[in-house]
Amino acid sequence: MSITAVVLAGGKGRRMGGVDKGMVEFLGKPMVAHVIERLRSQTPEILINANREIERYAAFGFPVIQDDIPDYAGPLAGLHKAMTTTESAYILTVPCDAPLLPRNLLAKLMDSMMAHDADIAIAKTGMQAHPVISLCRRALLPSLTKYLQEGGRKVDTWQQGHEVVEVQFSQHPLAFSNINTSDELLTLEQAA
């Protein structure tokens, strides 16, 4: 079973003052380095979706893919590019600013996806779903292409059109914290 993970680092970082969030230091190294480190043991196939700082991302040793859709179209543009780049049957998406992802993320998502015969498995903590942290079938490419061509950008809205299973990760309450402000960065570093 072939699975490709894509680290989504293609945004503008507006909430961080325009800073490329993947390159923000967390516990002494860029956040994206933590994300990649946690993914490496889960799948050998990793792509980095970035639309700036291309050389810096390439230095991590994985292919860097840029959105085909202009104007920073969001996480779905990164998923779309990954789907058109890889031949893998499944795509795992994770944001570049979630440095504490569980080391069993892929296994739990895949187990639930298979058990429920779902198209998409989404991480969840308590009542909070994390739609950007998901595993989906590459076979959904035509649906995603159509949604994006029609101007759709919301991840959860597109996902709701498919068979979805939410996978509980309540034992990892900080694992899905993504960082949008300097205060959130400091809080997460202190808790890690």
Report the binding-site residues.
8-10, 21, 49, 67, 97
Q: Could you report the per-residue pLDDT of 160-173, keeping only the tens digit for each?
A: 999 999 999 988 87
CB-based burial, 40-77: b 16+ in 10 Å, e otherwise: eebbebbbbbbbebeebbeebebebbebebeeebbbbb
3-191 belongs to which homologous superfamily? Spore Coat Polysaccharide Biosynthesis Protein SpsA; Chain A (3.90.550.10)
Query: What's the rounded Cα separation, in Å, for the pair 189 and 185?
Result: 6
Q: Is 83 helix (H, G, I), strand (E, B) or coil?
A: helix
Q: Could you report the per-residue pLDDT of 16-64, keeping only the tens digit for each?
A: 556 788 999 999 999 999 999 999 999 999 999 999 999 999 999 999 9
For the chain, the domains span: 3-191
pTM of the predicted structure, to 2 decimals: 0.93
Report the binding-site residues for GTP.
8-10, 21, 49, 67, 97
Report the binding-site residues for Mg(2+).
97
